[in-house]
Amino acid sequence: MACAAEPATYLTAPGGYYIAYGEIIPFDRSIYFLAYFVIAGMPGIAFKLFYNLTAGNKEAAQKQKLSEAIDLLPDIIHQARDLRLENLSEETRKVEAAGMLLSKLNLGPEWISAAVDDLTEDSRPARPRK
């Protein structure tokens, strides 16, 4: 926080002094703000650079790992569904698979048709109307 606050304090002090008193900031007060910037701001900037060189790389690596994990989620979900259906009888598997398909919200008529066809084993009621 110091690395952001100190330069701003040093740069805005002359303007604030001029607004408040109607004259340019005296040299001794400028030296005070400059010293404050050097004492508090420079270590803050140094610590921020040190952080970016050490822990900053870890943060980027963690973001990359999180992105990779999110990319793998759909495959893991499908594998879990397959494992759940694997031990069921064929009839129960058809019902469960159709239920999974029909639980989706944005299905088109051909997907609903496929689910009904699988459940009834008859393609006549599953044909979409024109």
Q: How does pLDDT run across 43-90, given as a tens digit for each residue?
A: 878 888 888 888 767 877 888 899 999 998 888 888 887 787 788 887
Q: Assess whether 49 and 92 both reside in one domain.
A: no
pLDDT in tens, 17-47: 889 999 998 998 888 888 887 887 778 788 8
Question: Domain containing 48: what range?
Answer: 2-53
Identify the pLDDT of residue 2: 47
Up-side HSE of residue 90: CA atoms within 13 Å toward CB?
Answer: 2
Q: How confident is the model at residue 6 (pLDDT cuts 50, 70, 90)?
A: low
79 in a structural domain: no
119 in a structural domain: yes
14 in a structural domain: yes
81 in a structural domain: no
Single out the residue of 125, 121, 104 nearest to residue 113, CA to CA.
125
Q: What angle do CA 105, 106, 107 make, to 5 degrees?
A: 100
12 in a structural domain: yes
Single out the residue of 102, 103, 95 nearest to residue 119, CA to CA.
95
pTM above 0.75, yes or no: no
Dihedral sign computed on CA atoms, order 40, 46, 48, 54? negative
63 in a structural domain: no
Identify the pLDDT of residue 100: 75
Mean local confidence (pLDDT), 88-117? 75
Identify the pLDDT of residue 68: 92
Q: What are phi and psi of 17, to 5 degrees?
A: -65, -40
Count of domains observed in the chain: 2
Torsion of CA 110, 112, 118, 124, to 10 degrees: -70
71 in a structural domain: no
94 in a structural domain: yes
